[in-house]
Amino acid sequence: MPYVVTDDGAQIFYKDWGGDGSPVILSHGWPLNADAWEAAALFLAQHGHRAIAHDRRGHGRSSQTWDGNEMDTYADDLACLINHLDLTSITLVGHSTGGGEIVHYIGRHGTDRVAKLVLVSAVPPLMLERDDNPDSVPFAVFDGLRAGEASDRSQLYRDLANGPFFGHNRNSDISQGVRDAFWLQSMACGHRAAYECIAAFSATDFRPDLARVDVPTLVIHGDDDQIVPFAVGGQRSAAAIPDAQLLVYENGAHGLPDTERERLHADLLAFIDS
């Protein structure tokens, strides 16, 4: 299996599909791994693009480091992968926490190698409710996630899969297999990494990173997202990025790569090829 080794010796696993087409990097959500993007990676590779998806450190097949489970290191790990593969004219696609990772990459490393940006159900600009970020998600919500992670993380992941992540509590028809895959990927994440990443995706202020985005950007968000509410995530990100294109999926849940697979694939391809 292919790995890139970071400056601190961590091994970052990645998949690289599709040959010599224009590169697309797919960054996954918490607490998943590159497998969450397999359907999109296969679709994009079949349509002439080079699809690359990595396991964030602490997740999946990458090293479970004790330290570095925060956005600065995640972004630098992504830069290490991009530099290792010597990629240019990249389309960066991030779902949920992955959206934070890719905009933080731009904030720390710029857009010299980036052609386009896609945020899907993404955590920027800032999820956590603060004095300077009202009408957002209260701290108690993330403390509840941490409590579930610490006490019985296996059940936490089942509850998320059977409830708000895919909108299954709204009577969606997401399959048992997809929900099982969510649980399996989540359990492959290191316990410390999963716990610490809750702070990384919820409390990192991505507003300075969004201010540095100067490439064509597509923002996709469901208006019934129970994890990253539309008004907190996609709506604000689209407003913060000049000329960003916003697509709102009516009644869309958080897990759009699975719940709206065909539509999302078509929208990604149209934007990348435009």
Could you give the residue numbers annotated as active site? 96, 225, 254
Q: How far is CA 270 from CA 78, 102, 118, 215, 263, in A?
A: 25, 20, 12, 16, 11
CB burial string 243-266: b at 16+ within 10 A, e below: ebebbebeebbbbbbbbbeeebbe
Q: Report which of 74, 66, 37, 52 is spatially closest to residue 2, judged by C-alpha positions.
A: 52
Rounded distance between C-alpha atoms, residue 105 and residue 101, angstroms: 6
- Where does 82-211 show beta strands of DSSP type E? 90-95, 114-120
- 266's tokens: 């078509």
What angle, 0 to 180 degrees and rounded to 10, lies between the N-to-C axes of helices 38-46 and 261-273? 40
- 228's tokens: 């990253």
> 213 φ, ψ to 5°?
-75, 120
What angle, 0 to 180 degrees and rounded to 10, lies between the N-to-C axes of helices 176-187 and 139-162? 130
Q: Is the peptide bond before 164 cis (omega within 30 degrees of 0)?
A: no
Q: Report which of 20, 52, 58 is spatially closest to residue 37, judged by C-alpha positions.
A: 52
